[in-house]
Chains A and B, each alone.
Chain A
Amino acid sequence: MLTRRSVLGAAGAGLALAGSGWPRFSESRAAGAPVTPGVPAGIADAATMETLPGKKPLIRLAYRPPNYESPLDYFRTPITPNDEFFIRYHLSDIPDVDVATYKIAVGGDGANGQTELTLDDLKKLPAYEVVAVNQCSGNRRGLSNPHVAGVEWGFGAMGCARWKGARLKDVLAIVGLKPEAIEIAFNGADGPAFDKTPDFIKSIPVWRAVDESTLVAYEMNGAPLPHLNGFPARLIVPGWTGTYWMKHLISITALTKPQGGFWMNPAYRIPVGMFPVVARFVTQENATSTPITEIVVNSLITSHADGAKVKPGNNTVGGLAWDGGYGITGVAASTDGGKTWSAATLGEDFGRYAFRPWSFAFRAKPGKNTVMVSATNKIGQTQTATLLFNPAGYHNNVMQNITLNAA
């Protein structure tokens, strides 16, 4: 939901769970990083905690190109602080960007004209804010069974921030779109280490580009974007996976033909018909595969890691739920492996694109207890009980069922 209000100071209700009832996250690997159980053994051994400039320690999966995920205990608030936000790059040539000379080129054969925008030009356009989840398409890829090749993310390739910027439709209105424009393509200042490697260029359908929620953002949680999250400006496509959220944005190109290139096809594709997504990208679709688009409904238990110790008696489990922008309407919890379900209590609503906090009180019996959760959204979508396997490991929204040991 778009809003101009500044409510970071009003986050209290959503943070109610962060009190004494939330035990410290116990690291699953004392010697290395607290990786998500189930990721390939190779990364479980190799991952370490590392602190990059302007960041708190993140789980380093890889340094070049940099891919760092947030540990579970950074998800105890519905807004992810900038210094706890994950980092994801495809290519390792990441230039510093000088705001004094920074420009975004706007044009293309689907536009009536062309122009260049400075950061100041962008800030002169009407400013809008949206609280939205940025989730990597491959979040939880490391939990695919069988494993598939790629960056082996656990739970933490996601975050939720309050983004502020100009509407993309207002930027496009400066040059004007031709009726035959079908896609808008984006490039960022980062590039490959080797000149034969395809540059990371992505497009979205025109209808999605002119949606009022799609922003060219220059602020994240009230501050300039951190360098490693796309300074000075990045695309925000609320509800859609992170692949479209181009960082260090340097060009916006209206196209009358579909954008080609490795990063549109074969990369970032899902099998046609496998997932219950509403938003389709038809100009890129073929008989067997279609671009990943909106985020599937999902939830994460963030108060406790799987296998955590609790005291017998009253306990509260909490976490987050989110979807592709329809809005979370409920989170159900089960302590008997899914035979019976109770409604969890939803926390503050930051809008339909945001993390929705939830909590569930239950009585732990001595010994082994299980807590299973599943979120539902406004159009009735729920999480899956078993993995919908696909070759790139996308859209893993299998219900969690964690064990808590009471003693």
Chain B
Amino acid sequence: MRTIVFAVVAALVALPALADEPTIKLKPGPSLDKVEANCGACHSLVYIQMNSPFLNAAGWNAEVTKMIKAFGAPISDGDAKDIAAYLAANYGT
């Protein structure tokens, strides 16, 4: 239901359309595709760059967990582990 609503309002948003979103190039590495697909579904990937490089592996794991538990991101346990590992390796301390 919400998806349908979103599709309708997407045509009306005053911000430039999603297609105009600035391209964020994250560092290449294992599981980058999972990061782009999962994290990028709800927010700009710049949020990853913005929160770097000061989180350690536990800190990035807590962020991924927050996205799943608090924000309802539908990410499998396996993908969550891979995403947290990518973030710690490329955007961690």
Contact = CB atoms under 8 A, between A and B. Distances in A.
Interface of A: 40-43, 45-46, 48, 52-53, 60-66, 92-96, 146-147, 149-152, 191-198, 227-228, 262, 266
Interface of B: 1-3, 5-6, 9, 12-16, 18, 21-22, 24, 41-44, 46-55, 59, 63, 70-74, 91
Contacts of A227: 14
- Which of B46, B50, B54, B55 counts the most chain A CB atoms within 10 A? B50
A95 B6 CA distance: 9
A41 B14 contact: no
Nearest to B62: A149
B14 A40 contact: no
Given A52-B15, A196-B72, A228-B14, A40 B44 contact: no
Contacts of A46: 24, 46, 49-50
Contacts of B12: 95-96
Given A62-B44, A63-B46, A196 B74 contact: yes
A147 B55 CA distance: 8
A196 B42 CA distance: 11
B52 A194 contact: no
Contacts of B43: 62, 64-65, 92, 193
Nearest to A142: B50
Given A94-B13, A193-B6, A40 B51 contact: yes
Contact of A146 (B5, B13, B54, B91): B54
Contact of B21 (A64, A191, A193, A194): A64
Given A94-B13, A95-B13, A195-B1, A62 B50 contact: yes
Nearest to B71: A197
Contacts of B42: 92, 192-194, 197
A198 B69 CA distance: 11
Contact of A196 (B16, B52, B54, B71): B71
A192 B73 CA distance: 11
B58 to A, nearest CB: 12
Contacts of A147: 54
Given A64-B18, A95-B12, A96-B13, A152 B41 contact: no
Contacts of B13: 94-96
Given A95-B9, A194-B42, A40 B50 contact: yes
A97 to B, nearest CB: 9
Contact of A198 (B3, B24, B52, B71): B71
A42 B93 CA distance: 12
Contact of B53 (A40, A53, A95): A40
A296 to B, nearest CB: 24
B60 to A, nearest CB: 9
A21 to B, nearest CB: 35
A152 B18 contact: no
- Pick the most buried of B5, B14, B91: most chain A CB atoms within 10 A of its CB: B14
Given A46-B24, A48-B22, A198-B70, 11 more contacts: A40-B50, A42-B48, A42-B53, A64-B21, A92-B43, A96-B9, A96-B12, A96-B13, A152-B51, A194-B2, A266-B70
Q: Which are the 5 A-B pairs with shortest beta-carbon distances?
A: A196-B72, A195-B2, A42-B52, A147-B54, A95-B9
A43 B54 CA distance: 12
A65 B21 CA distance: 11
B9 A64 contact: no
A48 to B, nearest CB: 8
Contacts of B59: 149
Contacts of B47: 62, 151
